[in-house]
Chain A
């Protein structure tokens, strides 16, 4: 019971606006076990970041409207938790790492103070003790001269260091779950690798569950245990990382993997998925991917497929997957 990790059932998020409704997330389910790293993959606009904020219950009701059947973290039922209690959980048991470290940090507060306040809020430490823990946290993520660096302002640090500060902030209270929203997108490739290492390390050492949101498949390959592929607000495939890469079942996943250019490729034209992601207010009838899918037929144009597959294994949402999920299970 205590190790159930994160569970999300039927999460939906919409944004009403003058012309209609933006259907950002259309009923997704997630299961992340203790210590597991799950990734949510998809192109921009597929609803991944919104899902993350919704799980943390950080979406404000104007402009968003969220519904969820069940949301739990270990033995905490978060579904209808009032905000006051949710605040005790955020930062302590659930934490988030945002994409853009420059804007995610308060520009007029030193980074040290921004980490101190987490300790001061969630534990009974004195100011001095909190600062000590802050310095340890900064050292843990590999920031040199942590004691003096803690008194810097965000704009005085490099991009990679800022990201590490965000990681330190998230891991400060050793939460049960970390949600990382595109933690490396804004960074150089070399720094990316370092930051991901730190993340992986922290995750392994403290047995923290992680939900990693990204559109970068190399990050997925590096970090993920389980992969959820998202398209236009719905989960279209769920698989263990290696299985996904070896044998994608959904045509979209297949297209994504094929479109990553590899140095070893012989001189071949780039593979692309034709068309574009549907507008969140005007989604097609039937399966959302059918306009771009080489395997679509009338059924796909009329009916949205269900997410099918053995309970804890692969699943795919497609009328004509490349292979049936139960066939793949070895």
Chain B
């Protein structure tokens, strides 16, 4: 029975992906009669005929010389081959290649942030819940209210200022040679993480506090449940009660939270990458937008959306696996 649910959810995800990619296709074409004008805006000092010829070139080069529908079909075919298009950059690199180059660097930041936030958050949160009403708990509460109102890029700037410029502990701007000089050695890896330290710190602070708060609330709510009293009435050790009964239940709602956050993992690094000039997908995207490199931009958009859809799907399925109460079928 669970298998049909699985298939249903996967199909639904595919459907959503399809809608999204269609939107993705049409967005650059909004309000523009001739896409070639977008790709090659009129420049002064060119006669109309010259411009027409250039536009025709552009059209042929980028495939606008056929009808929109045919372009759409070509686009879909390309997607099946994982071809997201060709960038407008000099050298016409493939979008997929560019993404492949920069994605690992973003993942360095995102994955580290996720791991740090999660682990620290769970620990702090459980401790705050266990020591309810004491200073650890109040500290968390105050930290929560403050950190929520401070945007991560502001924290980034502060860290960059104090730890980067003032104390010179970490580089405030990413070393531009970091990518070029990279090879698999301890030295190079250490350099990467030294450069990554400030960005990771900026991103994880908010995450730590948010996960702590959620964990704390969840643990407290569960500790008040009857089955925890039952567990204690059975004379089980404190460790057993905590791990098998309290945490097993308290971490369930957390799983959905994590899933949602993973969806925005890559896109969320955009601003921070900009602050530190980190060579990841975020800066790639911003470069594309400032040079009006539409294929690259839309390619990354699609990639991010696909990633979000996948993350959502995995979270849903994970929840079904983890919580035996969830009966497959409609869960809305």
B45 at the interface (CB under 8 A from A): no
Chain B positions within 8 Å of A294 at CB level: none
Chain B positions within 8 Å of A137 at CB level: none
B324 at the interface (CB under 8 A from A): yes
Chain B positions within 8 Å of A107 at CB level: 227, 249, 324-325
How many residues on A have C-beta within 8 angstroms of the other chain's C-beta atoms?
30
Chain B positions within 8 Å of A98 at CB level: 226, 229-230, 233
How far apart are the CA atoms of A243 and B123 in the complex, in Å? Answer: 58
Q: Which of B229, B234, B249, B324 lies in contact with A121, CB distance below 8 A?
A: B234
Which A residues from 89 to 113 make CB contacts under 8 A with B?
Answer: 89-92, 95-96, 98, 100, 103-109
Contact B248 A103 (CB under 8 A): no
User: From DSSP, what is the main secondary structure of chain B's interface residues?
Assistant: helix
Q: Which of A91, A104, A106 lies in contact with B249, CB distance below 8 A?
A: A106
Q: Which of A62, A103, A106, A166 lies in contact with B245, CB distance below 8 A?
A: A106
- Least CB distance from A123 to B in Å reads 12
Size category of the B interface is 20 to 34
Known: A107-B249, A155-B325. A58 touches B233 (CB 8 A): yes
Q: Which of B231, B232, B252, B322 lies in contact with A106, CB distance below 8 A?
A: B231
How far apart are the CA atoms of A86 and B236 in the complex, in Å? Answer: 10
B131 at the interface (CB under 8 A from A): no
A169 at the interface (CB under 8 A from B): yes
Mark interface residues in B232-265 (1 if CB within 8 Å of A CB, else 0). Answer: 1111111010001100110010000000000000
Contact A95 B227 (CB under 8 A): no
B41 at the interface (CB under 8 A from A): no
Contact B230 A105 (CB under 8 A): yes
Which B residues from 202 to 240 make CB contacts under 8 A with A?
Answer: 225-227, 229-238, 240
Known: A109-B244, A109-B248, A155-B325. A103 touches B225 (CB 8 A): yes
Q: Which of A91, A103, A155 lies in contact with B234, CB distance below 8 A?
A: A91
Determine the residue in chain B with the shortest Cβ distance to A118.
B234
B60 at the interface (CB under 8 A from A): no
Determine the residue in chain B with the shortest Cβ distance to A152.
B324
How far apart are the CA atoms of A89 and B225 in the complex, in Å? Answer: 22
A293 at the interface (CB under 8 A from B): no
- Least CB distance from A183 to B in Å reads 13
Chain A positions within 8 Å of B240 at CB level: 117, 121
Contact B226 A100 (CB under 8 A): yes
Mark interface residues in B300-332 (1 if CB within 8 Å of A CB, else 0). Answer: 000000000000000000000011110000000
Q: Which of A53, A87, A92 lies in contact with B237, CB distance below 8 A?
A: A87
Contact B133 A62 (CB under 8 A): yes
Chain B positions within 8 Å of A104 at CB level: 226-227, 229-230
Chain A positions within 8 Å of B245 at CB level: 106, 109
How far apart are the CA atoms of A87 and B240 in the complex, in Å? Answer: 12
Contact A96 B233 (CB under 8 A): yes
Contact B235 A169 (CB under 8 A): no
Chain A positions within 8 Å of B225 at CB level: 103
A56 at the interface (CB under 8 A from B): yes
Contact A108 B248 (CB under 8 A): yes
Determine the residue in chain A with the shortest Cβ distance to B227.
A106
Contact A103 B226 (CB under 8 A): yes
Contact B324 A108 (CB under 8 A): yes
Known: A62-B133, A106-B248. A117 touches B234 (CB 8 A): yes
A245 at the interface (CB under 8 A from B): no
Chain A positions within 8 Å of B230 at CB level: 96, 98, 104-106, 166, 169
Q: Which of B232, B235, B322 lies in contact with A88, CB distance below 8 A?
A: B235
How far apart are the CA atoms of A118 and B248 in the complex, in Å? Answer: 18
- Least CB distance from A63 to B in Å reads 11
- 16 further A-B pairs in the complex, CB-CB below 8 A; given A98-B230, A106-B231: A87-B235, A88-B235, A90-B235, A91-B233, A91-B234, A92-B235, A103-B225, A103-B226, A103-B227, A104-B229, A106-B230, A106-B249, A107-B324, A107-B325, A108-B249, A108-B325
A interface, CB within 8 angstroms of B: 53, 56, 58, 62, 86-92, 95-96, 98, 100, 103-109, 117-118, 121-122, 153, 155, 166, 169
Which 5 A-B pairs have CB atoms at the shortest separation, nearest pair first?
A91-B235, A90-B235, A91-B234, A103-B226, A106-B227
A-B contact pairs, 12 of them (CB 8 A): A86-B235, A87-B238, A91-B233, A91-B234, A95-B233, A96-B233, A106-B245, A107-B325, A108-B248, A108-B325, A155-B325, A166-B230
